[in-house]
Amino acid sequence: MDGAANGRRGPGGGILMGKPFGVPVYVAPSWFLVAALITWVFGGQLERVLPELGAARYLVSLFFAVAFYASVLVHELAHTVAALRFKLPVRRIQLQFFGGVSEIEKESETPGREFVLAFVGPLLSLVLAGVFYGAMYLVEPGTVPGVLIAGLMISNLIVAIFNLLPGLPLDGGRMLRAVVWAVTGKPMTGTVAAAWVGRALAVTVLIGLPLLTHTGALGNERPEIGGVDSLTDALLAAILAAIIWTGAGNSLRMARLRAHLPDLRARTLTRRAVPVEPSLPLSEALRRANEAGARALVVVDGHGVPTAVVRETAIVAIPEHRRPWVAVSGLAQDLKEGMRVPAELAGEDLLDHLRTTPATEYLVVEDTGEIYGVLSAADVEKAFVAAMARPS
């Protein structure tokens, strides 16, 4: 599935293994479960092909599991290199249950770039399958190297073919999205089409995979329904179908989010503010704000230069009878780098700016440096939730 070992854990990412091209690579805890499963299954196959290995077959199987996920990492690195080439930031690569994912933080600007970004992963998996196919002629069949190379050839071919299926969240789904985007001129239309194809694909996998394995269409004999093998096939199909269905749904939600992001504008979300001196009592500052129809306070120095923003939560915490005796400077948060937000900032750029400098309030300024008002992080969050609730 798609889209220096120091033992440290990343935030929700797993174990950090390295930073190729400056992008951190994490191994999720679920990978160890899958690696153990691959070792057990492949070990059973080796017992039939190379019975003389004995218990050592599990060491060979473990090597295969690691080599297979190294191939998956190469697949993900292809996406990463393409994204960096298109100047799209990549947060991390994570190897996890049933594959890996490259977390690219921004959308491609054109359908052509989206198509290329999606296609390079399966393309490189096909190249690896071809390399291993050629390597099979350099080793003797029926030996450990021969079996390993054949297994890696087949597994990379499966990864490529599976990811080329035309439904999100697979690479083929992103390619379909790019094609529909190019035809209609609307990225949202492409996402909706590819996501629904992905959901149809999930249902097909859920029903079709057990039927194919039972009828022997995948090269095995299943004269009767039932037994551990049939249960395993059904469980595998259910897991794959759930992953595809969930990924398709997430793609739809992310597309709806991006469609509504332009509605988040600093200028429209900003509260009108009044400038106040640091020593001014809170009661007088609030009186001036009410008189001016403002909802925020900005502390300025003797030259009128803003130095701090009064926190709304701090104001609420002061009882009304104490407000004449509390100076606004004691309730203010000093303006740090990044807490000045341009009034024209909007959409993803606005969210990126707020994420870079977490705070409860921000000073919004015009291009000239003039104070426009105060932006509350709570107001942005409410607008974000409201935008997500509206139909696309």
Catalytic residues: 76
Both structure tokens of 350 = 């606005």
* 3-state secondary structure (DSSP) of residue 182: helix
331 contacts 314 by C-beta, under 8 angstroms? yes
The residue behind tokens 């092909």 is 49
CA distance 338 to 365: 12
Round to whole Å and give the CA distance between 277 and 280: 5
- Residues near 7 by beta carbon (within 8 Å), at least 6 away in sequence: 15
φ, ψ at 280 (rounded to 5°): -65, 130
Asked if 16 and 26 touch (Cβ cutoff 8 Å), the reply is: yes
For the four alpha carbons of 307, 313, 315 and 318, in that order, the dihedral sign comes to negative
Q: Identify the bridge partners of residue 9 per DSSP, sorted by sequence position.
A: 15
The one-letter code for the residue type at 265 is R
Rounded to whole angstroms, the Cα distance separating 163 from 19 reads 25
